[in-house]
């Protein structure tokens, strides 16, 4: 029995759709039962547990509100070069990989009772975690990690400075 071209094309499309459906269903089932499954929806963590204690994670809206109220000190954990190219207005530079001189300056002028917000390059970076942990070990307890970091701050059109800074 010979198929006409439109019928044959329709049959190919139906088979391709069936194979795609079965493959997708199997992939979803395997993902659901896998111990290392990939979540369907990403929920950022609400806190990060570090050796020095827990740090609450905040997003751009909360970081902006705290900034506008002037109720915290911001720390940029990125490299000096990144900091000079742009940072949150008024932020201290304490690079995660060489914190010593800047950290000593920070500790000498900011008491441990002050709220501190540490940020870096975004949700994938952990440089802010390093600085947050160091501060917690120095008895700073009100530490927040701005997980979306400088790129989100800049995208939102919030106050940014360039140059050497603090």
Average pLDDT, whole number, for the chain? 90
CATH architecture of the domain with residue range 47-161: 3-Layer(aba) Sandwich (3.40)
* Domain coordinates in residue numbering, the chain: 1-42, 47-161
pLDDT reported for residue 18: 94
> 27 vs 16, 17, 30, 35, 40, CA distance in Å?
16, 15, 5, 14, 12
pLDDT at 156: 95
Q: Give the pLDDT confidence score for residue 118 in this predicted structure.
A: 97
Point out the residues of the chain with pLDDT beneath 50: none
For residue 42, what pLDDT is reported? 65
- Per-residue pLDDT of 4-49, as tens digits, reads 677 888 889 999 999 999 999 999 899 888 888 887 776 667 888 8
CB atoms within 10 A of CB 48: 19
Predicted local confidence at residue 3, as pLDDT: 57
Sheet holding 116-119, edge to edge: 47-50, 53-58, 143-146, 116-119, 73-76, 92-93
């Amino acid at each position: 029995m010979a198929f006409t071209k439109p019928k044959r094309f329709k049959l190919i499309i139906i088979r391709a759709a069936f194979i795609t459906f079965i493959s997708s269903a199997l992939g979803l089932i395997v993902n659901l039962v896998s111990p290392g499954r990939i979540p369907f929806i990403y929920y950022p963590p609400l806190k990060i547990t570090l050796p020095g204690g827990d740090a609450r994670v905040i997003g751009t809206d909360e970081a902006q509100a705290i900034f506008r109220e002037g109720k915290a000190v911001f720390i940029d954990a990125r490299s000096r070069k990144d900091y000079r190219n742009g940072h949150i207005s008024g932020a201290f530079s304490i690079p995660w990989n060489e914190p010593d001189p800047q950290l000593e300056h920070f500790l000498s002028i900011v008491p441990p009772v002050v709220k501190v917000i540490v940020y870096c390059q975004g949700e994938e970076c952990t440089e802010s975690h390093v600085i947050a942990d160091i501060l917690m070990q120095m008895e700073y307890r009100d530490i927040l990690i701005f997980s979306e970091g400088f790129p989100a701050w800049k995208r939102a059109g919030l106050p940014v400075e360039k140059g050497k800074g603090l």
